[in-house]
């Protein structure tokens, strides 16, 4: 047997001991755990499939390059021992789907020809449950006439498929993919169907900095496999779309709720946001789609208060209007006033001279705010009566 570094099966390998937390409080599997391993061909993709794991629970694949010696009894899995001689490494770890299945993919290094690795899947069942050991050797190429990554011998003796036809039953999916994912390669009605990602939208299409956004995904009806949908919210920064850190949920909080002092991801009027949707069914290549951008619209300014002073005027008093305003976009705000005496508009300055009124008149002032883009709603003061 030839020794092989961890890079055979993962970008990095870690000792099995630290994995106890991965199995904490996991639900029990729905049945016996099994591990299927596709042929390990140098420079070619390989697939590990674990079935029978706890729905949505953690599973891992352990491996070793040793062929003899005592079996491994890691503290993390006590009191269960693996059927592998030490030293043992974690090849891959993931969360199973709702059906208790997890799939791991990687490319076998080109320099690994001749190496042998023994593999075992691990999950929890009121303790730790393991699959039977699978041993595989990395080969330079397969005795595989039809190029479907099932050897001629395996096709004939194990599956009964045609070694000269990559898709024996003619259903559009090659024999290897049907075998690896639990379908019948001899039944044209048994095959995985890729789900179609039809639409990815950021809604509402018209928004301002006070508006939370939501991602809406539309999937086709034909997929046969459970799918995982993930989201990445992006913001246009100096002409480049950049992922907003931590924003991977279907909903994106409003800019008002997310903005932080000094953050380049704080958003204001005219900024553009969009979402990238990714759909993965664990069988076919993940599909991605990017929504149309949502350009944040102006938020009109608002009057928060209007008053007249003095509050109890007499005929000799000039009346002074005052207004407080706010603008969520932090734009400068100008305010115009309109005075009404006995219900009729008489002036548009901030000060109404005493000469414009007489005892017994009713007076009100209305304020209209405006930013550089648009005017806000008009708000009027309470009515005062001119005293003698």
| pLDDT for res 6 | 46
* Chain mean pLDDT for the chain: 84
- Which domains, from first to last, does the chain contain? 6-137 (2.20.130.20), 197-295 (2.60.40), 302-385 (2.60.40)
117-126, 316-325, 360-369: segment of lowest average pLDDT: 117-126
Confidence of residue 40 (pLDDT cuts 50, 70, 90): confident
| pLDDT for res 116 | 86
| pLDDT for res 75 | 67
Please say whether the beta carbons of 171 and 191 come within 8 A: yes
270-279: average pLDDT: 95
Question: Is pTM, for the whole model, over 0.85?
Answer: no
Burial grade of 190 (CB within 10 A; 0-12, 13-18, 19 or more): middle
150, pLDDT greater than 50: yes
Confidence of residue 60 (pLDDT cuts 50, 70, 90): confident
pLDDT digits 0-9 by tens, 72-94: 777 666 667 888 887 888 888 88
Please say whether the beta carbons of 103 and 5 come within 8 A: no
Where in 140-295 does DSSP place strands (E)?
197-203, 213-219, 228-237, 240-243, 251-252, 272-280, 287-290, 294-295
> In Å, how far are 138, 180, 194, 283 from 154, measured between CA atoms?
16, 13, 26, 21
| pLDDT for res 282 | 74
Burial grade of 138 (CB within 10 A; 0-12, 13-18, 19 or more): buried
CA distance 118 to 47: 15
Instruction: Using the structure block, give the residue that is written with the tokens 């806000």.
Output: 376
pLDDT over 90 percentage in the chain: 43
> In Å, how far are 195, 223, 252, 265, 276 from 218, measured between CA atoms?
10, 12, 18, 28, 13
């Amino acid at each position: 047997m030839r020794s092989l570094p961890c890079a055979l099966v993962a970008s990095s390998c870690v000792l099995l001991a630290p994995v106890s937390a991965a199995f904490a409080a996991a639900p029990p599997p729905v049945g016996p755990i099994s591990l299927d391993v596709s042929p390990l061909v140098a420079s070619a993709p390989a697939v590990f499939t674990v079935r029978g794991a706890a729905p949505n629970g953690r599973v891992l694949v352990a491996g070793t390059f040793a062929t003899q010696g005592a079996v491994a009894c890691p503290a993390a899995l006590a009191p269960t021992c693996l059927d592998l001689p030490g030293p043992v490494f974690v090849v891959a770890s993931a969360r199973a789907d709702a059906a208790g299945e997890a799939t791991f993919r990687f490319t076998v290094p080109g320099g690994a020809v001749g190496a042998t690795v023994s593999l075992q899947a691990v999950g929890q069942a009121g303790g730790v449950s393991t699959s039977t050991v699978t041993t595989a050797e990395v080969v330079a190429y397969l005795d595989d006439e039809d190029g479907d990554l099932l050897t001629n011998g395996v096709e004939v003796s194990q599956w009964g498929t045609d070694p000269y036809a990559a898709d024996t039953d003619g259903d559009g999916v090659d024999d290897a993919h049907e075998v690896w994912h639990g379908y019948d390669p001899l039944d044209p009605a048994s095959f995985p169907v890729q789900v179609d990602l039809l639409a990815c939208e950021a809604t509402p299409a018209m928004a301002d900095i006070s508006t939370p956004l939501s991602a809406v995904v539309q999937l086709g009806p034909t997929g046969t496999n459970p799918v995982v949908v993930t989201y990445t919210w992006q913001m246009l920064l100096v002409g480049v779309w950049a992922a907003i850190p931590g924003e991977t949920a279907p909903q994106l909080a409003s800019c008002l709720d997310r903005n932080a002092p000094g953050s380049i991801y704080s958003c204001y009027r005219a900024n553009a946001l969009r979402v990238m949707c990714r759909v993965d069914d664990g069988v076919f290549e993940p599909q991605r789609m990017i929504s149309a951008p949502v350009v944040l619209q102006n938020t009109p300014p608002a009057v928060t208060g209007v008053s007249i002073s003095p509050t109890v005027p007499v005929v000799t008093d000039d009346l002074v209007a005052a207004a407080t305003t706010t603008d969520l976009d932090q734009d400068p705000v100008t305010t115009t006033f309109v005075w009404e005496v006995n219900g009729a508009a008489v002036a548009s300055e901030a000060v109404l001279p005493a000469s414009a009124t007489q005892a017994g008149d009713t007076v009100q002032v209305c304020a209209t705010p405006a930013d550089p883009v648009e005017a806000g709603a008009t708000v009027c003061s309470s009515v005062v009566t001119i005293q003698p």
